[in-house]
Structure 1
Amino acid sequence: MIVRHIRRKDYDRKKRVSAYCRVSTDKASQEESFETQIAAYERLIRSNPEWEYAGIYSDEGKSATSARHRAGFQRMIADALEGKIDIILVKSISRFSRNIVDCQTYVEKLREQGVSVRFERENIDSLNPACSMMFSLLSAIAQDESRSISENVKWGIARRHERGEYKISNNQVLGYDADEQGKPVPNGDAWIVQMVFRLYTEGKGVREVTEMVAAAGGHSLRSSRPLSCQAVRYILKNEIYVGDRILQKRAPVNYLTKKPDLQAEYKTYFLQDDHEPLIDRDTWEKAQGILRRRELAKEAGVERIRANAHFLYGKLFCARCGAPYRRRTFKERDAKGGESYKAWCCKERSKGKAGNGCLNPILREVALLEAIARKLGMESFDEQTFMRTVEKVLVQKNGEITIELISNAA
């Protein structure tokens, strides 16, 4: 019996070989290493007569704990799964991925397509069954290494925050540049921030502020485009503009998911009068009061508070049903000319579709302001003191009022 061996059509075809290179930061030292990696792998592949050069895939300034955010890596995987690559060269497992799940998932996908991933430092070929256990162990070590680095970085940041140390970089905060120590110093865009606060404290809404700043030539942080409503709100809430700094405002980022780790413990540090402000403290406090008032009103279902709205809107609420109180004009019943007066009533007082028939009492405005003044220990009602110190006024079912003060009010 004669056995004839028939060779596969691609038996003599050269292996299509590519390489993957990555560095995690944009620092000059790593940039040099990055370029060296690319050049070295290109020479290595082109010098092998059995290999066909299939390109170099790379990611610069990217972490290896998340493959999803690495465009070069994703492009390489897609090309390999489409049959464009036979062998992928990588310096080490940690360059490929520091996430054990990602690492094993992508290697398994490539293995199913017959694509070999060769890790130079560990001397492992993913198609070699004998290397499977060693690969799993080393990929777990790479992930733990990343966790350790992340913890060390967090520890260093926390120690600097304890000492009140921080740095900003240029083009990071609108209206400020960084000095040699990384502290904020006003720049030529400071007027944009000052205009935002001025217009807002004059009673303009966020959208109106946005339109007026754009008309005056104001722009966003990193482009010539106008500020968005979201950017204006961010400016109004950013304490850096009054000369303060809050360090570690949010939970630290999880080293694998790159999202805030809500389970992590962390401390927030407040630095008052830390640097030169762009606005004075009175303007800042007034803006925060307006923000709180409008946010509280929105949560309670108050219609948009207009620039000329009465100062009690968004502050006065029904203790019975939680609805906001509205200002209304009534007429004296026994007055010949129908003399009118201002009073406040629960929004839900009317029956039917317009309300739930709430029976909380109607309060005359003059009597209401006198009652608030007595509660606050004023000889006579003062609007500025009221706005600065009062969070909410609740009207009880017997017509009495209770007052909730702003927690950080002087």
Structure 2
Amino acid sequence: MRCAIYCRLSDDRTGEGLGIERQLADCRDLVGRRGGAVAGEYLDKSHSATSGRRRPDYERLLITVDSGTLDAIVAWSLDRLVRRTADLERLIELCDRRNVAIILVRGSDLDVSTPAGRLVARMLGAVARHEIDAKSDRQRRESRQRADRGLPREVAGPSATSARSWSMANPRPCAAPTRCCLTARRLRASRKP
């Protein structure tokens, strides 16, 4: 069985690629246990599957599937492979046409050449889409709560260190002076001419 492994991490905040490494190790292990051979590894680090933006290795994977040289795609879970309904339908159509199975480390194998396999894939895709919508809803609510409390928007940065640095330079109002507030005041005072 010729397998292509696909791994994706939406946001590698540390830059170490540890999430990709974990997925890759689990996928390789599964291929080995099934007696397959890894025909290629496709890794999209810090690429969201929800934004609709191009994922370079995912696109390369689809080209490889279309070439007819694979028997299966192996991924950690379906939501690592696809998150958007349009992407799922494109994948189902391509895998069905080329007789390629989808094998998941954390889930059942998907034989999209059958109506039942396509149904399960679509149900898993709907669950993944629901989680995206629910997460977005929670984040919007958190932002409104922060604004109501007079707090700045959450800082998106490559690491917690940059968020801490931002917080120290732009402190939140405190009722009592704390170490973090005093440090921030000293930082601001040291910048004055």
TM-score with structure 2 setting the length: 0.71
Q: Could you tell me which residue of structure 2 aligns to residue 181 of structure 1?
A: 167
Q: Does 1:80 align with 2:80?
A: no
Tell me how far apart the structure 2 counterparts of residues 120 and 145 of structure 1 sit (CA, whole Å). Answer: 19
Task: Verify the 8 A CA contact 2:101 2:109 in the aligned structure 1.
Answer: no
1:112 Cα deviation (Å)?
0.6
What SS does structure 2 have at the residue aligned with 1:56?
strand
In the alignment of these two chains, the number of paired residues is 168
What SS does structure 2 have at the residue aligned with 1:133?
helix
Q: 1:93 aligns with which of 71, 78, 91?
A: 78
Tell me how far apart the structure 2 counterparts of residues 80 and 142 of structure 1 sit (CA, whole Å). Answer: 23
Q: Could you tell me which residue of structure 2 aligns to residue 164 of structure 1?
A: 151
Task: Verify the 8 A CA contact 2:76 2:105 in the aligned structure 1.
Answer: yes
**Percent identity at matched positions?**
23
Which protein has greater RCO, CA pairs closer than 8 Å, 6+ apart? 2
Are residues 180 and 101 of structure 1, via their aligned partners in 2, closer, same or farther at CA, if it must alter by over 3 Å? closer
Are residues 182 and 98 of structure 1, via their aligned partners in 2, closer, same or farther at CA, if it must alter by over 3 Å? farther
Computed over aligned residues only, the root mean square deviation of the Cα atoms, in angstroms, reads 3.3
Amino acid paired to 2:66: L
Q: Residue deviations 1:24-60, cap 9 Å, x none?
A: 22134994232111123224334554x2221221212
What SS does structure 1 have at the residue aligned with 2:48?
coil
Q: Could you tell me which residue of structure 2 aligns to residue 227 of structure 1?
A: none
What SS does structure 2 have at the residue aligned with 1:77?
helix
Q: Which has the higher helix share?
A: 2
Amino acid paired to 2:144: A
Tell me how far apart the structure 2 counterparts of residues 69 and 142 of structure 1 sit (CA, whole Å). Answer: 19
Which structure is larger by alpha-carbon Rg, 1 or 2?
1
Q: Does 1:44 align with 2:33?
A: no
Are residues 145 and 83 of structure 1, via their aligned partners in 2, closer, same or farther at CA, if it must alter by over 3 Å? same
Q: Which has the higher strand share?
A: 1
TM-score with structure 1 setting the length: 0.36
Are residues 47 and 149 of structure 1, via their aligned partners in 2, closer, same or farther at CA, if it must alter by over 3 Å? same
1:106 Cα deviation (Å)?
1.6
Query: What runs of 5+ residues in structure 2 fail to find an aligned partner?
Result: 159-163, 171-187
Tell me how far apart the structure 1 counterparts of residues 7 and 157 of structure 2 sit (CA, whole Å). Answer: 29
Are residues 47 and 136 of structure 1, via their aligned partners in 2, closer, same or farther at CA, if it must alter by over 3 Å? closer
Q: Could you tell me which residue of structure 1 aligns to residue 180 of structure 2?
A: none
Q: Could you tell me which residue of structure 2 aligns to residue 288 of structure 1?
A: none
Q: Could you tell me which residue of structure 2 aligns to residue 121 of structure 1?
A: 106
Task: Verify the 8 A CA contact 1:90 1:120 in the aligned structure 2.
Answer: yes
Tell me how far apart the structure 1 counterparts of residues 58 and 37 of structure 2 sit (CA, whole Å). Answer: 20
Q: Residue deviations 1:376-395, cap 9 Å, x none?
A: xxxxxxxxxxxxxxxxxxxx
Tell me how far apart the structure 2 counterparts of residues 146 and 169 of structure 1 sit (CA, whole Å). Answer: 18
What SS does structure 2 have at the residue aligned with 1:83?
coil
Query: What runs of 5+ residues in structure 1 fail to find an aligned partner?
Result: 1-14, 172-177, 185-274, 277-410
